[in-house]
Amino acid sequence: MIPIGAHLRVRGQGNHAAVFTGRLRMINDDSIALALDDDSEQTVLLAFSEIGRAEREHDEKTRDEAASAMGAVGAVGGLTAAVYWCVHNQSACQDDLEQMQEAADNDESYIGPSALMVLGGALLGSAIGYLLAPQPHWELVVFPMRTATSNGSARLLMNVGVSIPLGGRHWR
């Protein structure tokens, strides 16, 4: 089912006819508890019968993680380019290192060609990672509903919905 801590968006019905967004704190046979995004100390208890629609956010951190990982790869690539540049342009590299040291001694900032290569590689890698990662999206969640049979004994029921897009869209 849904793991505790999952990010949910719940549209209530009846007495709770509002939209609640937060982290799932508890789930039992007939209700859920949600710690709201606005105030994580505040918990909303919703019975399944009060939920009109529930959605779970997927890939919420994927872009940040991909940007960080690819930024590190890009920085390594930029460092490799800087070392290659220094090997083939030793006098320019030596001047760059001297200017960097002079700026550090005077408490000034200096960004030379070698530092630009590393920073540019990191920035380019981060941008590529961010663009290639899937964007966050919401997916419909269904909860089991408790109901009774004709003789009064309890049973579980699963509500299932069907979405039919119109206007030239394909079936999902």
- Length reported for the chain: 172
Phi, psi of 89 (to 5 degrees): -135, 65
Q: What is the pLDDT of residues 108-151, one digit of tens each?
A: 999 999 999 999 999 999 999 999 999 999 998 887 655 555 55
| Distance separating alpha carbons of residues 145 and 54, to the nearest angstrom | 13
Whether 142 is covered by a domain: the verdict is: yes
User: What is the extent of the structural domain holding 32?
Assistant: 7-60+136-158
Query: CA 82: distance to chain centroid?
Result: 33
Q: Give 54 or 165, the one with higher predicted confidence.
A: 54
Total domains in the chain come to 2
Is 21 a member of any domain? yes
User: Which residues are 139's β-sheet partners?
Assistant: 56
With b meaning 16 or more CB within 10 Å and e meaning fewer, what string describes 26-53?
A: ebeeeebbbbeeeeeeeebebbbebbee
Tens of pLDDT along 2-55?
Answer: 889 999 999 988 766 789 999 999 998 888 999 999 887 889 888 888 888 899
pLDDT at 168 over 60: no
Q: What is each CA distance from 57 to 11, 113, 121, 129, 172, in whole angstroms?
A: 14, 42, 31, 20, 18
Same domain, 78 and 124: yes
Mean pLDDT of the chain: 85
How far apart CA 66 and CA 126 sit, in angstroms, is: 7
Residue 141 and residue 58 in contact, taking contact as beta carbons nearer than 8 Å? no
Quick one: 68 and 104 in the same domain? Answer: yes
Q: Supply the pTM of this predicted model.
A: 0.61
